[in-house]
Structure formats: C-alpha cells, structure tokens
C-alpha cells in the first residue's frame, strides 16, 4: 500500500514543481495547492497505512494492537490542511491584487520593487 502512495506522492511533487517553475502567478498558485496536498499525502504515508483497524484499545488489553491505524498523522494532516488552505486563500487574494495593481500576471515583468535599472552608488563627491 505504501509503495502506491509513494508513487502518487512523487507524481504530486513533480506536478507541483513543474507548475511552480512557470512565470505566471496563477500557475504558481496551482503548484502551491498541489504541493500542499502532496505533503499531506506524504504525512499520511509516513504514519504507516493500515486497513480498517480502528485505534481503540480492546477490552482487557492495556495498549493498542500493533495492526491498529495510527491516529497521529491524521491530526498532523488536519493542522496542515487548515494552514495550507488559509495560506492559499491569502495568496489568491494577493496575486489577484498584484494582477490589478501591476497589470500583469507574468512574474518576469513584476519589477516594481526591483527595477532593472538600478544606479550604482556614487564613487565620490
């Protein structure tokens, strides 16, 4: 099961990196969204994938069965989903605002903060 997940995680990462290498901010955003999901899936796989044994201590036993599912990665993923969702929402607004103000979604043309022609400091006076 883990092997299948590992391949899927790899595919997610490659798609995310490919999209984030683009010049266009909307594609970068899509890459960020996929990257977040790739990480979530990775966390899920990291905590071993076991089918259908709920993490409940059986009557009479003093601890969990070894085959039981691991509940911790799900707590981690839940945290990560909330965080990446809120960041994604913020970034979407930010790039829309950037598109309105800078009149472009091409990051190669966003040169307001770092203009191409920057004078060197004077050599003396």
Partner 1 sequence: MAGPTDTAFDLSDALVAAPIPMAHWLVILPVALCIGLGALLLMLRNRTQWHAAIAIPGLVLLVVIDAALLYRVVSDGAVTMVMGRWLPPFGIAFSVDIFGALMALTAAIAALAASVHSLGEITVSSRRYGFFPFLMLLLAGVSGAFLTGDVFNLYVWFEVLLISSFGLLILGSEPEQIDGALKYAVLNLIATTLFLVSVGYLYAVFGTLNMADIAMKARAGDSAPLMTLTGLFLLAFGMKAAAFPVNFWLPASYHTPRITVSALFAGLLTKVGVYALIRVLVMLLPVERAGLGPLVTVIAVATMLVGVAGALGTNDIRRMLGYIVISGIGTMLAGVAVGNAEGLGGAIFYALHSMVLMTALYLVAGQAARLGGGFSLTVLGGLYRRSGWFAGLSLVLFFAISGLPPFSGFWPKVLLVKAALATGAWWLAATILATGFLTAIVFGRVFLLAYWRPAAADAMAAEPIGWQTALPLLGLAMLVVGFGLFPEWLLHLTQAAAAGLEQPSAYLQSVFPAAGGVQ
CB 32 within 8 A of CB 39: no
| Phi, psi (rounded to 5 degrees) for 64 | -75, 150
H or E stretch at 36: helix 25-46
- Does 120 bind partner 1 (CB under 8 A)? Our answer is yes
Nearer to partner 1, 3 or 112 (CB): 112
**Interface with partner 1 (CB under 8 A), residue from 5, 25, 64, 108:** 25
SS3 content of the chain, % helix, strand, coil (to 5): 60, 0, 40
- Does 116 bind partner 1 (CB under 8 A)? Our answer is no
* Residues at the contact surface with partner 1, assessed by CB under 8 A: 20, 25, 28, 32, 35-36, 39, 42-43, 45-47, 59-60, 62, 72-73, 76, 79-80, 83-84, 86-87, 90-91, 94-95, 97-98, 101-102, 107, 110-114, 118-122, 125
């Amino acid at each position: 099961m883990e092997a299948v997940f590992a391949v899927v995680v790899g595919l997610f990462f490659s798609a995310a990196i490919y999209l984030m290498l683009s010049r266009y901010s909307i594609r970068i955003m899509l890459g960020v969204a996929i990257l977040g999901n790739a990480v979530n899936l990775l966390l899920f796989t990291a905590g071993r994938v076991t089918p259908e044994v709920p993490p409940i201590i059986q009557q009479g036993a003093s601890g969990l069965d070894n085959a039981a599912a691991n509940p911790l990665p799900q707590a981690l993923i839940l945290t990560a989903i909330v965080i990446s969702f809120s960041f994604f929402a913020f970034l979407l607004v930010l790039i829309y605002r950037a598109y309105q103000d800078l009149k472009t979604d091409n990051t190669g043309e966003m040169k307001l903060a770092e203009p191409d022609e920057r004078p060197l400091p004077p050599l003396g006076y």
